[in-house]
Amino acid sequence: MKTLALFRHAKSDWSDARARDFDRPLNARGQRGALAMGRYIRDTGRRFDRVIASPAVRVAETVEYASKAWGRSFPVEWDRRIYLASSAVLVDLLRELTGDPETVLMIGHNPGLEDVIFDLVPDDGSSPLRDVVEAKFPTATFAVLELDIARWADIDSGCARLVSLMRPRDLDPALGPVLPGSLDP
């Protein structure tokens, strides 16, 4: 059995229309969301043998804020292939992992991360959390999958169970979606 945690970057800043997508930082709400999720991950007692992440600025800042709240830093393997990758690319990256770690944390972007869930978790009603992901997988969401495999190279569609899903708004309603007519703090 292997464990895969997926962590979508926190809310990014769109105020500079000239900025490249790769270079967008977190906005204030994103910083708060990353801190909240870092505390949540710490409180669950989760540990990861490997952490792989997109090197996009918003991901790097999500790691920075979450680590600060978590109270520990961890070595991150920055992999440009994760940036805006499809599920197929992300699954291939997992298949290529060396050393066969038991637990992996992947930090990146949508729609790739949520599509990994759709590809690995069967749509057979056995995981009610899958329906929540179908509705929305917002920024700073943290999901944990258990994979019925012995080696990462064995990943195949339908091999996982979604055992945990936490969205920022589940921790603090102020981190939820901005209602029409309101300002994004």
Q: What is the pLDDT of residue 73?
A: 84
> Reduced to 3 states, what is the DSSP secondary structure of residue 77?
strand
The side-by-side arrangement of strands in the sheet containing 103-108 is 77-78, 50-53, 103-108, 2-8, 142-147, 160-166
Q: What is each CA distance from 70 to 22, 104, 151, 167, 174, in whole angstroms? A: 25, 17, 28, 16, 20
- How does residue 179 score in pLDDT terms, banded at 50, 70 and 90? very low
Helix, strand, or coil here: 133? helix
Question: Residue 12: is it exposed, middle or buried by C-beta count within 10 angstroms (0-12/13-18/19+)?
Answer: buried
**Maximum separation of any 2 CA atoms in the chain, in Å:** 50
Encode pLDDT of 46-83 as tens digits: 999 999 999 999 999 999 999 999 988 889 999 999 99
Question: At the topology level of CATH, where does 2-13+22-174 sit?
Answer: Rossmann fold (3.40.50)
pTM of model > 0.85: yes
Of 9-23, 117-131, 170-184, which gets the smallest average pLDDT? 170-184
Tens digit of pLDDT for each residue in 119-178? 999 999 888 899 899 888 999 999 999 999 999 999 999 999 999 999 999 999 888 875
∠ CA 92-83-136, rounded to 5°: 90
